[in-house]
Amino acid sequence: LFIKYYSYIGSCIHNGQLHPLTEFVNGGTLKSLIQDVEKNPFPREQRIQLSLDMAMGMEYLHDNGMLHRDFNSHNCLLRKEGDRYTAVVADFGLATKNPNLIKKLRRNQSMVGTPYWMAPEVLHGKEYNEKADTYSYGIVLCEIVSRKDADPDEIPRNNVREREAEREVLVTIAIKLVYSRHLGTQ
């Protein structure tokens, strides 16, 4: 299994700040690919593959007790080999151990992330778990499908009940895609 995140090489201090050193990922961000409508037709197969890559990367994090907490199209890098892209989950600066998996629930978890991709429970300062990352993943899927910005004026969010139903549909689709990939059926 090829894990869809990038490799940590080490750290350095520059101008008094600690910086992680990671492998170079040559294809830019998913955000730039989504926005490049004129130069990149972004075929359906490529959209599906990148969605699967991201799902596998997030699945790996969650299976290992981590929450990303800032998953968005800016934090998904692309490896480019010829005309083929592979999505790589990146920027773990806000990542944390999943409190549900380590059995230490906290009432006032930090409200962190990028607002357009934040789940309602995070925005409202409520308890959250890996489903908050799944919500962010769903917003990224909406960006991929629509090729629109995650701004709520571009991709409207509905009322809370509809949002929960949409999240369940997106989770179901993502799970089916990942399992079909693992089982070799497309």
Catalytic residues: 70
d(CA 6, CA 2): 11
140 contacts 54 by C-beta, under 8 angstroms: yes
In whole angstroms, how far apart are CA 111 and each of 44, 70, 89, 124?
A: 34, 10, 21, 8
- In this structure, are residues 134 and 171 in contact, taking their beta carbons and an 8 Å threshold? yes
Question: Cα–Cα distance between 152 and 146 in angstroms, integer?
Answer: 13
